[in-house]
Amino acid sequence: MQPSVTGPFAGLGIRYDGYYRDSRGEVIYLIRFFPEGRAVLINGTRDIEKDLPLFLTREIQSAPAQGLYNIKVDIRNDSLFFTTRPERGEISYRGKVMSGSTVRFHRHSHINGNDRLMEYIFYPDSAVSSP
């Protein structure tokens, strides 16, 4: 069980002991939240999915060309807002925690005008077993 959440995400139901995942066809989208009000996002294809969680660290630097972002999340009431900046343009997200295991975002591309509903399901960190 996760310790009580303090800081900007307090009361929203955000979890820090794993990541949230959505997929569209062959593309995987992951988000990990951090207590200080930040999130790390990465996307990639199914053939490299097992390696994607390794990038979800607090210290990682954004690399838009690789679909990797370390961004500040704006919290207003019970909603989450942030913007990613790929190599050209912006993609804005607004969403909320739907349950203890689901975060839903409306994603709007200011590049091509596409809107998408993204539903991220929580996956806890693997337990480290000792011999």
Q: pLDDT tens across 96-126, in order?
A: 999 989 999 999 999 999 999 999 999 999 7
Q: Name the pLDDT band for 5 (thresholds 50, 70, 90).
A: low
Distance CA 23, CA 43 (A): 9
**Taking the model in full, what pTM does it have?**
0.90
* Confidence check: pLDDT of 68 > 80: yes
Question: Which are the contacts of 87, defined by CB distance < 8 A and separation ≥ 6?
Answer: 64, 65
Closest C-alpha to 8, from 60, 58, 73, 70: 73
Quickly list DSSP for 34-77: ETTTEEEEEEEEGGGGGGGGGG--TTPPPBGGGTEEEEEPEEET
pLDDT for the residue 128:
47
- Pull the structure tokens for residue 53: 């969680």
Overall average pLDDT of the 14-21 stretch: 95
